[in-house]
Structure formats: C-alpha cells, structure tokens
Amino acid sequence: MRRFPEYFTIWHIAGHYGLRLVAWLVLAFLILPILVIVPLSFNAEPFFTFTPGMLALEPEAYSLRWYQEVATDQRWTLAIRNSFLIGIAAALLATLLGTVAAVGLASPWMPFKRLITALLLSPMIVPLIIIAAGMFFFYTSFGLVGTYLGLIIAHAALGVPFVIITVTATLAGFDRSLFNAGLSLGASPVKVFWDVVIPLIRPGVISGGLFAFVTSFDEVVLVLFLAGPEQRTIPRQMFSGLREQINPTILAVATLLVVLSIALLLTLEVLRRRSERLRGTGA
Amino acid sequence: MKHRSLLLASALALGAQGAAAQDLTVTSFGGAYGAAQKEHMIDPYVAETGANILFEDYGGGVAEMKAQSESGNIQWDVVDIEVIDLERACSEGYVAVIDHSILPPGDDGTPAEEDFIPEALHECGVGNIVWSVIFAHREDAFADGGPQTIADFFDTEAFPGKRGLRKRPQVNMEWALLADGVAPEEVYELLATEEGQQRAFAKLDTIKDDIVWFDSWSQAPVLLNDGGAQMVQSANGRIYAAIEDEDAPFTMVWDGHVYDLDVWSVMNGTDQEEAALDFIKFATRTVPLSGMQDVAYGPTRRSAQALLPEEVKANLPTAHLEEGIKADGIFWADYGESLGEKFNEWLLQ
Amino acid sequence: MAEITAAPPRAARRLAPEDARNAAREVRAQRLRAFLFVTPLLAFILFAFVAPIASMLFRSAYNPTVADLVPATLEALEDWDGEARPPDAVLTRFAVDLKRLAEERTSGQLAEEVNRYLPGTSSVVKSTARSLRRADDAALAEGGANLLLEADDAWGEPGIWRALRKSGQVYTASYYLTALDLEMTRDGTIQPRDTQIYLKLYGKTLWMALIITVLTLVLGYPLAFHMAHSSTAHANFLMVFVLLPFWTSLLVRTTSWIALLQTNGVVNSTLITLGLTRDPLELLYTQFATIIAMTHILLPFMVLPLYSVMRGIDPSYMRAAMSLGSRPIPAFLRIYLPMSLPGLSAGALLVFIISVGYYITPALVGGTDGQMISNIIAFHMQQSNNWELAAALGSLLLFLIVALYWLYDRFVGAGNIKFG
C-alpha cells in the first residue's frame, strides 16, 4: 500500500486514485483505436469489421491475404517505393539546408533573427490546404506539378521547421568557442563546420532528419494536389482507398505503418538519450 | 557521406522519373468493374505488348480532367468515361477527338463502323459497355419484397431506412422527377426549366435526412453490405457482381433505371496519344469487350454481344430498356455546371 | 583570440576608438557570416513556400480567363451603358468570338466564368456555342446578332451582358465578396448574397476547433498531471503511449476511426452486444466522427506542452498549501492551475490553430455536416475548379491563422515548440 502524507483525507486518496483511473482511460483512448486495426488486418473476409469467426478465434477466420495483396499489387508497391524515395530525398534536402541555417540562427550576431526564424518555421503553422493550393498555382508555371522533383521540394519545405527546431536545440548546448578555436587555428569555416560542429550536433541533425522524413512520409494533402499517378505515395493510396473502396488491404498497410512508427519512436528515444549524454544534461 | 547519399537520392529520383515517362496511365472506376477490365483488357494488353500500365481509379465526373487540362499538367492518358459526362468533356476539350477509322474490325470480320452500336462511336470516345444506374436493396431489410419502383425509393414512410446516393446531380435529379410522377420522356425537358429543377430539389428534400452520400460506384455495394444503407443507387454491374460472387442478399430494381454507355477516351494534350490509342484499339476488340459480361455490362460491339450466353443477356441493361430512360449527355453538357452548383448549395443548406 | 575581439558591442564602447572600429568590423563580419549560413535555406523557402503562398494571394484577386478568351467582345462592350440590350454589332462580334471558342473547345471555360456572376448562364452559353459551331462564317459575320438571339433569347437581356463584362475584369475583389457571402449590386453597393454558405462554414469551423480544443484539454490535463507527478521511469513509460499515436501516420489513425465507427464497426457491435442499443447508431460520416477522430489525433499536441510545463512545477507549493489545511480544489485552482497556464495556453492554441486548417480527417470521416473550411477550399480546387474562389477562401483562412499565430507567439513564443 502506498504511503500518503498524514494530512491526506480519504477524499485526497480517492482523488489520487480517481486521477490515475482517468489518466489510464485517456491513455486507452489514445492507444486502443490504433491497436484495434492490427487484428482486423488479418481478416479473411473483405470487410473492415470483426467477423463472428474472428471473435471465436477460429484460425480460418484469419489470413495473410491482405498482406499478400499489398506485396503483389503494383499500385501499393509503387506507392511504397515512392514514399521512401520522396521521403528520403526530401529529408536529406531539408536536413542539409536546415542544419547549415540553424548554425547561423544560433549565432548571437544573426540579424533579423526573430523575423527569419518565424518565416522559416511558418510551413509548420500554415494549413496544408493553403500550402497545397499555393504550390499548385506556383509550381505549375515551372512544370513541377506531377514530378518527383516538385514533391521533394514541397516536402522538404515542410520538413525544414523540424530540422531547425531540433538542431537549434542541440546547438543551444554547443560551446561556440570550439568553432572559433577551429577558425583561429586556420581552418576554413566549411572545414570547421564539417569536422567540429557536425559531429557534436549529430544527434540533433539525425532526429531533425527523421522528423523531416516522417513529415514527408505521412503527408497526403500536398501529394493530392501536386502528384501525378506515377508519384502516388502510401498515404495517397490509403486516402483514395478509404474514399473509394474500403478493404482490409488498407488495414494491412496501416499495421505495417504502426510497426514502422514504433521503430522510429525507439530510434528517436535512443538518439535523445545519446544527445543528453553528450551534452551532459540528462540522466 | 551526406553528399553521397544526396547524390544517390537525386539519381534515384531522376531514374524513377525516366522510367515513369513510359507508363501509360489508364483511369477507370475500380471495384468489380475495374477488376473485370484488368482481367480482360489491361492484363492481356500488357502481356501482348510489354507496355507498363498504371491502372488508376477515379469516381467519375469531369472535374479531375478539367483541373489537369486547365493547369496544363496532363497526368492521365486513357480515361473510361460515362457518356453522361463525355459530351461535356469533349466540347470543353478535355478529351481528344478520335478517328474511328483506326479501329480494327470485329472478330467475325464486320468493319468497326458497322460492328459498334451507333451511339458507341462518339467523336471523342470509343464504346466500351452499355450499363445502367439502378437501385438495389437488402432482402433482409424489408418485409414483403421491399421497394419496387423509383417512387418507393423516395417513400420513406413505406420503406424507412437509409438511401445511398452518389453525390452528384446526375441521375438523382432524373429520379426525383420520375418519383414525382413525371413521364420518362419529359424528364430532361422539364429539368431544363427553373420549375423542373425546383421540383426535383423539392422531391430530393423529402428524403434528404435519409440519404447517405458516396463518391464512387465501388462504395455502393459496400454500403449495402455493411448496413450503412438499406437501399443504394448503383451501377448495375456492382450489385450483380456482389450477388454472383459473394452471395450478397441484394435485390436489384430496374424500374426507372438510367442507362448509359461508357467509352474509352484519350486525354487531350497527353504526350502518349499514340500509346493511348493503341491501348483503346486493343481494349475495344471483340473478345476483351465480351469479358465485361463478368459484371453484367453489355459490350458495345455486336460481334461481342453474339458471344454472350442467353442467361447473361437477361441480366444486361439491354434486356430492360423499356423500364428505363437513356441518360442525356447533351443535356448534362449544358446543365452540368449550373445544376452542379445548385446541387452543392442544396447540400450545404 | 577571436572570442575576445568579437566581444558584444556594449563592451566595445569602453575601448579605444581603433579597437572599437575593429570590434565593430568584426561584428559586421560575424553578422554577415551568420546570415550567409541562413541564405541557402532562406532562398529555398522563398521559392518553395513563400512564393506559392504569394501566388495564391495574387490569384484570389486576379483572373484573366475571360479577358483572354473574348478580348474583342469586351472591348466592344466598353462603350455600352449597361442599361438596354447592347447594339447588334456587339452581339455579332460576340457570336463570332463564341464560334471560335466552340471550335477551339474553350467555350466551356467562358460559360463557367460568366456563370459565376449570373448563375444559370452556363447552359445558355454552352447550348449557344453548340448551335453556333454549325453556323456558316459569312452568315455569322453578317447577322451574328440574330443567330445569337435565335439560339437563346437570354441574349436579349442586358443582365447576361453585364455578367460577361464583369467577368472580363482582370483584377477583382468579387471573389473575396463571395467568400464573405457578399455581392456587389449594379449601383456599387455591397449586400449579403441570397445563399449564405461560407461565413456559416467559417463559424462552424471555429466552433468545431473550439470543441476539439476543449476536449483535448479535458482529456489531456489529467493525463499530463498524472505523468508529471509520477517517477521519471513511470512517466517515460507512459510517454510511449502518448508518442506512439503522435508518430503514427495520420491516415492510419483516421482508418482506425473508420473501422471503429462504421455501421457494423467495433463501437456499434460492442454497444449492441452490451444491449445498450438495438439498432446500430449512425456514427461515421457525421460531425461527431470528425470531432472525436480529431480529438484523438490532436491530443498529443496538448499533452506534450502541458507535461513539459507541469514537470517543472515544484510540487512543494501544492504540498505546502495542503499541509496548511487548504482543500485540494481551491489549492489547485489558486496555485497549480496558474503555474501550469503556460503549457495550457501553448497546447490549446496549438491544437486550435491546427484544427482550424484541418482537411484530411473531416474529408474521410465527416460526411456532409462534418466538413470544415479546408474541405470547401479543396472542393473548389478539385471539384468545381473555381480556383480564384478557393484562393480567396484560403487567403481569409491564412489571415485567421496568422492572427492566431501572432497571439501564440506573443503569449508562448514560437521558438518554444518542442517535440518528444
């Protein structure tokens, strides 16, 4: 039995357990809807619901057919390839530009810092539908609509704020005298950047890159407006599937994506711990 | 290292783009119909020519074609289009004019011009199927047989329950007038007038609270199946396929059906016009067309019709012509825009 | 050492003039260097993001379509007083233009543009174009006016010509008026339109965003509180449950809600099994579905800032108050709540801003009455192809968001956003 301070009355204790109950209920609300799709994705029937057979745990009510369909349907395999291709390219672009810029923004001499920071972070705040409409109008005149390049640029712009935020946070613990020491020893700023700064802020850069990747990987509004059929991504394919024909293939893909996000979550946790160790701040 | 991976990614991106330029994008309606087209048209074509085809789904209508055309980003090459929308797509230049002399004769040797039924050779399209918009209901949802007529579909007292309708004015406006007692041959004439339109909306108002809207034909059997609606508007083939293949407890009602043709068209301005026409020539040959019987759609070539067994013919729209009306593509070319607008305002009210 | 010469300017004032100049030069060099680091990204963002937004703003007031389609007719209409039917010469010129459009297959575009100013005109233009396509060129140049009037007597009304002239204006505020449910009458006064759509939708969007914000707050506050007052290990464990949904694809979470809420879905089957209802409830494709799914999706955005603020609140304040005999609720309201306010306002504004511009979830689960303003923008972009109206609606939404962001920045500070 847990020990409570002596001034606690029975109501305090009830409140304590009540709060705990509420907290767990909210957690259940957060997590259960995501988990419910996992068993549904093994449905042997082409429906989105638990069949009586599934509830009775009959083995023949379950099957891998929807996973097979994902693996063999040309549209899904293309979408998977596109998602990784666009996500990786957009993340690299955003990380490269964002990291370099974050170094400048972290400098105490940066002019117009507030304004420029706000500008660089704004893709995160402007509703996607507005960005999508604007890009559709503007990219059309450069022939970028319906191309991989257009999508990569668009997604990189969305990923930039995350890179800025994470890298700036790592740079906050970065001792600038190291940079200046490198310069005073005669190295060029570029060399100092690659050899001194990057290794130190690497955890921040990597997690920023991961954020940028996930942003692109999960993004569907810009894809709806800017992509042609050849650039279909996983979320785009899911979106049209949910609109046009609901079948458990989507659930199979969704389950795979849940597994992927668990992997990402673990990676980020490892990175966070390493970053804290490097900066000597965390436990 | 970062440099290298970036280079790699750009190389990949460019490579992918290069490869994708060869893909022919064929857009159709998905679901059971799409599956039949894949089996009888796409797959054999790919096997014969080695072409790479991206088979896309859309929900019908001209909006997507229009957006591609007006922004100059033509992304589809071949599109399966309902004649109810074709006239408009053609007169507004979204789809290209097709020279019918390129079409091969039927397998029995009949020249194409004679082999196709007359409506099937449109200035901008080559006939694919004869199909129909019908409504269907669940057998278990109603006692004593359920709704039998379009008027029953609008009768929420005798037949309570949700009605699934495709979210567009086409067919819904026609049905509203039919249900309101307008003679089939006067429907389009009346719809061209302000009073007729108001009358149709007023009739739709009587069931508005019971309507479940959907965007794509493939959703119709799903809605009926999972109980989202007790009766749905549907392309006849979707319901037929659900009954035949999945033993779904559905009943089709042919009263007041609106029959129409579907054609293959080529997007105007595509850089793959030749490949697109080549595909259409293949897909509209006798044998591929006759494969559409899988989903109870009538082929538009007489030589293909001749291949159908009698029991299949009984389920085709052509066996029920006197119960229905023909969709009027010209009417919808003229009024699609303004009725679409009124329809959307009506939806938001 | 660079560190010393580059001391901040305030210290420089006390140095000798020469040193001060050097220091100032060094500062300028540092400023330039810092700026150079930012330049590539700035250029990229200007091209990839700022210019598109600017082009949308421009588009909302700029539409050259009609002016490009029928320049000759518009020129002829310039001298018309707008009262009676324009002279036959104008009608003939238009008939010639329209035949050309019909042959080029662009008459549909004209029909659509004019229709926006005079609903119902689209069919007049299209059917006329259809009949003029067959007309003989010479006869058209001669008696185009008559052919036009024969095709449809609507061409005898001045209203259609006013609509044509109006739609020919290249720069116009009319899309903003429409977006605000207003219209300009012939004498230039502005009045509400007959059909009120968009203001209502903006109102509904704000209202739904507010409900979602309140719901995430009601659910998120106790959870964050519980986590903040657990041991670090336990809190990290619970954090996984918050972060997993946060990291899970939006489409996946929306898919889940479809599986849960559909007619024979998990929620309905459970309710029926428990005997709480006999017939399945209509849950999916409703406003309720939009609100509950968005609450689920945005809850982590509320919990994370709340948690990081609550974690920093010293529990001894509450303990002190309670050990001095304060009741829990007053102690909470007077001490804890004010201290957690920064996290609360950050989370609430973030959730509110994100919900106002949400598109995907309402589009998939919202049915007809669960649609938000973003959905109507998408509708005008993709279905009705009224891009100018979409741009005007989008611009208004953008102004709204910028105002909210400004509030956010003022009270919370945009740089303080953290993830994980």
Question: Is the pLDDT score of C328 beyond 80?
Answer: no
pLDDT greater than 80 at residue A48:
no
Whether C243 contacts chain A with CB within 8 A: yes
Q: Flag whether residue A66 sits within 8 Å of chain C, measured between CB atoms.
A: no
Beta bridge partners of B80: B264
Which pLDDT band, with edges at 50, 70 and 90, does B19 fall under? very low
In angstroms, the separation between the Cα of residue B32 and the nearest Cα of chain C is: 22
Predicted confidence at residue C415, as pLDDT, reads 52
Question: Are B132 and B236 a contacting pair, CB within 8 Å?
Answer: yes
Dist. CA A154–CA A135, nearest whole Å: 8
Distance from CA of C79 to the nearest CA of B (A): 30
List, as ranges, residues 254-283 from A with C-beta within 8 Å of C.
254, 257-258, 261-262, 264-265, 268, 272, 283
Is C115 close to B341, i.e. CB distance below 8 A? yes
Q: Give the residues across from A43 on adjacent strands.
A: A62
Neighbours of B22 (CB within 10 A): 10
- Residue A172 vs residue A17, higher pLDDT: A17
User: What pLDDT, on a 0 to 100 scale, did the predictor assign at position B14?
Assistant: 45
Exposed (0-12), middle (13-18) or buried (19+): which is C192, by Cβ within 10 Å? Answer: exposed
| Position with higher pLDDT, A47 vs B214 | B214
Torsion of CA B70, B73, B76, B82, to 10 degrees: -10
- Give the number of A-C residue pairs with CB atoms closer than 8 Å: 294
Q: What is the CA radius of gyration of chain B?
A: 21
Of the pLDDT bands very low, low, confident and very high (cuts 50, 70, 90), residue A153 is very high
Model confidence pLDDT, tens digit, residues C26-59: 889 889 988 999 999 999 999 999 999 999 999 9
Contact with chain A for residue C254, Cβ under 8 A:
yes
CA distance A262 to chain B (A): 25
Q: Which amino acid is residue B66, in one-letter code? A: K
CA distance C148 to C159: 15
pLDDT tens-digit profile of B65-103? 988 988 888 999 999 999 989 988 998 899 999 999 999
pLDDT score of B2: 41
Is C126–B66 a contact, with Cβ atoms under 8 angstroms apart? no
Residue C70: predicted pLDDT: 94
> Are C287 and C369 contacting, i.e. CB atoms less than 8 angstroms apart?
yes
Q: Which residue has the tokens 């304040």?
A: C317
CA-CA-CA-CA torsion sign (A51, A54, A58, A63): positive
What's chain A's Rg over C-alpha atoms? 24
Chain C hits for A248, CB-CB cut-off 8 Å, are none
Lowest mean per-residue pLDDT among A66-80, A234-248, B232-246: A234-248
CB B215 within 8 Å of CB B233: no
* pLDDT at C3 (0 to 100): 40
d(CA A183, CA C79): 72
Q: What is the mean pLDDT of residues C174-203?
A: 88
pLDDT of residue C419: 47
Q: How far is C367 from chain B (nearest CA, A)?
A: 8
Kindly state the average pLDDT of the residues C339-349.
90
Helices and strands counted in chain C (H then E): 23, 2
Can you tell me the distance from the alpha carbon of B294 to that of A149, in angstroms, rounded to the nearest whole number?
Answer: 41
Average pLDDT over residues A134-163: 95
Alpha-carbon dihedral angle through residues B43, B48, B51, B52, given to the nearest 10 degrees? 20
Question: What does the mean pLDDT of chain B come to?
Answer: 89
Which DSSP symbol is given to C16?
-
Dump pLDDT digits (tens) for C257-312: 998 998 888 898 889 889 888 888 888 888 999 999 999 999 999 999 999 999 98
Q: How close is the nearest chain C Cα to the Cα of A78, in Å?
A: 18
CB B248 within 8 A of CB B221: yes
Residue of A98, A167, A208 lying closest to C37 (CA atoms)? A98
The b-or-e profile of B148-163 (16+ CB within 10 A means b, else e) is: ebbbbbbeeeebebbb
**Exposed e or buried b for every residue in B210-248, given b needs 16+ CB within 10 A?**
bbbbbbbbbbbbbbbbbbbbbbbbbbbbbbbbbbeeeeb
Distance from first CA to last CA of chain C, Å, rounded?
A: 39
Cα gap A203→A197, rounded to integer Å: 12
What span, in angstroms and rounded, lies between the C-alpha atoms of B271 and B260? 30
Q: pLDDT band for C417, please (50, 70, 90 cuts).
A: low
Lowest mean pLDDT, pick from B76-80, C216-220, C321-325: C321-325
Which pLDDT score, from 0 to 100, does residue B96 have? 95
Phi, psi of C22 (to 5 degrees): -60, -45
* Mutate: best of C55, C105, C109, C376, partner B, most B CBs <10 A: C105
pLDDT at position B8: 47
Please state the length of chain A.
Answer: 283
pLDDT tens, residue by residue, C355-380: 999 999 999 998 888 889 999 999 99
Above 60 in pLDDT, residue A280? no
User: Which subunits have 3 or more CB–CB pairs within 8 Å of chain B?
Assistant: A, C
pLDDT at A279: 63
Residue of higher predicted confidence among A13 and B149: B149
Tokens coding B259: 């029959």
Mean of all residue pLDDT scores within chain C: 88
The Cα–Cα gap between A127 and C401 comes to 8
| CATH 1.10.3720.10 is right for the domain spanning A73-246 | yes
Per-residue pLDDT tens digits for B91-141: 889 999 999 999 999 999 999 999 999 889 999 999 999 999 999 999 888
Contacting residues of A for B222, CB less than 8 Å apart? 245-246
Domains of chain B: 23-129+261-323 (3.40.190.10), 131-259+325-348 (3.40.190.10)
Residue B6 has pLDDT above 50, yes or no: no
Is the pLDDT at B11 greater than 60, yes or no?
no
According to the 3-state scheme, what is the secondary structure of chain B? Answer: CHHHHHHHHHHHHHHHHHHHCCCEEEEECCHHHHHHHHHHHHHHHHHHHCCCEEEEECCCCCHHHHHHHHHCCCCCCEEEEEHHHHHHHHHCCCECCCCHHHCCCCCCCCCHHHHECHHHEECCEEEEEEEEEEEEEEHHHCCCCCCCCHHHHCCCCCCCCCEEEECCCCCHHHHHHHHCCCCHHHHHHHHCCHHHHHHHHHHHHCCHHHEEEECCCCHHHHHHHCCCCCEEEEEHHHHHHHHHHHCCCEEEEEEEEEEEEEEEEEECCCCCHHHHHHHHHHHCCHHHHHHHHHHCCEECEHHHHCCCCHHHHCCCHHHHHHHCEECCHHHHHHHHHHHHHHHHHHHHC
pLDDT given at position B16: 45
Q: What is the DSSP string of C216-279?
A: HHHHHHHHHHHHHTS-HHHHHHHHHHHHHHHHS-HHHHHHHHHHHHSTTSHHHHHHHHTTS-SS
Do residues A224 and A132 make contact, with C-beta atoms less than 8 angstroms apart? yes
Residue whose structure tokens are 């956010």: C408
| pTM exceeds 0.90 | no
Question: Which of A207-211, A220-224, B20-24 is the least confident region?
Answer: B20-24
Q: What is the ipTM of this complex?
A: 0.89
Which residues neighbour B316 within 8 Å (Cβ) at sequence distance 6 or greater? B130, B293, B296, B297, B298, B308
The answer to whether residues A128 and A218 touch, using CB atoms and an 8 Å cutoff, is no
Name the pLDDT band for A278 (thresholds 50, 70, 90).
low
Helix/strand/coil (H/E/C) assignment for every residue in A96-145: HHHHHHHHHHHCCCCCCHHHHHHHHHHHHCCCHHHHHHHHHHHHHCCCCC
The 3-state DSSP class for residue C386 equals: coil
* Residue C108 contacts B, CB cutoff 8 Å: yes
Token pair of A104 as six digits: 């400048």
Best residue in C47, C49, C306, C409 for a mutation probing chain A (most A CBs within 10 Å): C49
What tokens appear for B327 in the block? 């969709």
Helix (H, G, I), strand (E, B), or coil: what is residue C414? helix
Task: Classify strands C190-192 and C182-184 as parallel, antiparallel or unpaired.
Answer: antiparallel
Whether residue C397 contacts residue C373, with contact meaning beta carbons closer than 8 Å, is answered with yes
Two tokens, residue C109: 């575009």
Between CA A95 and CA A113 the distance in angstroms is 20
> Do A69 and A246 form a contact (C-beta atoms < 8 A)?
no
Contact C308, C343 (CB under 8 A): yes
Least confident range from A51-55, A89-93, C400-404, C412-416: namely: C412-416
Please write the tens of the pLDDT for every residue from B271-290: 999 999 999 999 999 999 99
Band (pLDDT 50/70/90 cuts) for residue C9 is low
**Chain A 212-251, CB below 8 Å of chain C: which residues?**
214, 217-218, 220-221, 224-225, 234-235, 238-239, 242-243, 246, 250-251
Q: Using one digit for the tens of pLDDT, what is the confidence trace for C66-99? A: 999 999 999 999 989 888 899 999 999 999 999 9
Q: Are B57 and B30 in contact, with CB atoms under 8 Å apart?
A: yes
Write the pLDDT tens digit of every residue in A178-199: 777 888 888 887 788 788 888 8
Q: Which residues of A touch B75 (CB under 8 A)?
A: 146, 228-230
